[in-house]
Amino acid sequence: MHIVLAGAGHTHIELLRRGAELIRAGHELTLISPEPYHAYSGMGPGLLSGQYSEAEVLLHAAALARDVGVKYISDKIVSADVSARVLTLASGSTCEYDLLSLNLGSEPVGEQPVDVAGRSIFTAKPIHKLAALRIEIERCCRDLDGCEISVVGAGPAGLEIAANARNLLSKFRPRHSAVNLFSAHSAPAGLTGRRREYVERHLARIGVSFFGGMKVGVAEVPGNIVVLATGLRPPQVLRSFDLALAPDGSVRVDRFLRAESSSRVFAVGDCAYFVDQPLDRVGVYAVRQQTVLMANLLESARHVDTALADAARLTPFSATGPYLAGFNLGYGCGLLYKGRWTLRGRLAFLLKDRIDRGFMRRYQK
């Protein structure tokens, strides 16, 4: 049985670690990803401010795959013929599969970067863009003695980028510098109550100017560096996959993480729409789906016939209960919360850092 893993996201990285189990069961396993590594989004803001190096935030998916005998194809999928079980790649080659698992993540939504005279435009994703942003800020501080940065979009990503950009600027102490955070909503990251109050006080204290209730574009904001953090959407390529999709373009999956329109296709993480209970697009759900996906691929791979696979004893995924959410707010400060529980300040950052580093050690050994 040939199992193809499309994308090297949070869920698939665990399947690569345990790939030997699938291979020992007699199956062939292939990873298709345009990049040989996966950047861990939870540590991206720390990469911007200099808390982490690039090496610390990268999971080398291709090396992990090869270590356990998984074939790695460095390419991008551009379409899928589900009835024929064939993937077409950007290089023009094709790849047949018996079981397909999609973990393709998400992509920026809204206004896309364009060349603007005298300005550098960045997006919040992919994560390696934050390394390029850091280099540009450092160049401005070195060559121009400072810069003004405007972050458009104050969701979780925009909030963390603004705070950590300010942290990076403070290390150089340039003659002039400013960081602006623009949001179409009144509160950063949709926070309420004391959590909102803490974050807004923190932004004011470190020197980030927050402009809530302002929907703006690149041409309307000041600064020589603009970061677009206006939200994420499922990859547009899914629309050419001949699968049943949700209105936002994600793959509709049942409680077993199988595509509604094909029992031979699974989808997880940001590119999946969990029909039983729509989920927030956060990494914690992708991690929770690891064990369920592994079990269901093993069980489905035992059946060659599609009808038998439909009747397989699969494991349901349950998304009950609150999850731990958190922000890296720069300067060694953070915010963590789960349900009614909240932790703020340095202890919050230290706990988040410990969780993030623990996750990375699991796959960087």
Amino acid 143: pLDDT: 93
Q: Taken in order 5, 102, 319, 336, is the CA torsion positive or negative? A: positive
Backbone angles phi, psi at 258, to 5 degrees: -90, 145
pLDDT in tens, 149-199: 999 999 999 999 999 999 999 999 999 999 999 999 999 999 999 999 999
Amino acid 312: pLDDT: 64
Which of 336, 354, 330 has the alpha carbon at shortest distance from 166?
330
Q: Name, in order, each residue with C-beta under 8 angstroms of 117's C-beta and a sequence gap of 6 or more.
A: none
Mean pLDDT, each 10-residue run in order, the chain (365 residues): 94 91 91 92 94 92 92 95 95 96 88 65 88 94 94 95 97 93 94 96 97 90 93 91 93 95 94 89 89 93 65 82 92 96 97 95 82
Helix (H, G, I), strand (E, B) or coil at 278: coil
pLDDT in tens, 225-274: 999 998 889 999 999 998 999 999 999 999 999 999 999 999 999 999 99
Structural contact between residues 266 and 257, judged by C-beta atoms closer than 8 angstroms: yes
**How far apart, in Å, are the Cα atoms of 140 and each of 134, 175, 223?**
10, 11, 12
Residue 174, preceding bond cis, omega within 30 degrees?
no
Structural contact between residues 333 and 345, judged by C-beta atoms closer than 8 angstroms: yes
Location of structure tokens 């029909």: 275
What is the token pair recorded at 269?
A: 């993480």
Amino acid 180: pLDDT: 98
Residues comprising the chain, all counted: 365
pTM of the model: 0.91
What is the side-by-side strand order in the sheet with 176-182?
120-123, 225-228, 146-152, 176-182, 208-211
- Label residue 175 exposed, middle or buried (CB < 10 Å: 0-12, 13-18, 19+): exposed
For the chain, list the domains and their CATH numbers. 2-106+234-310 (3.50.50.60), 108-232 (3.50.50.60), 323-365 (no CATH)
Structural contact between residues 186 and 179, judged by C-beta atoms closer than 8 angstroms: no
Structural contact between residues 185 and 224, judged by C-beta atoms closer than 8 angstroms: no
Amino acid 112: pLDDT: 56
DSSP for 281-319, written as a single string: --HHHHHHHHHHHHHHHHHHTT-SSHHHHHTS-PPPP--
Location of structure tokens 């623990």: 358
Q: Name, in order, each residue with C-beta under 8 angstroms of 196's C-beta and a sequence gap of 6 or more.
A: 187, 188
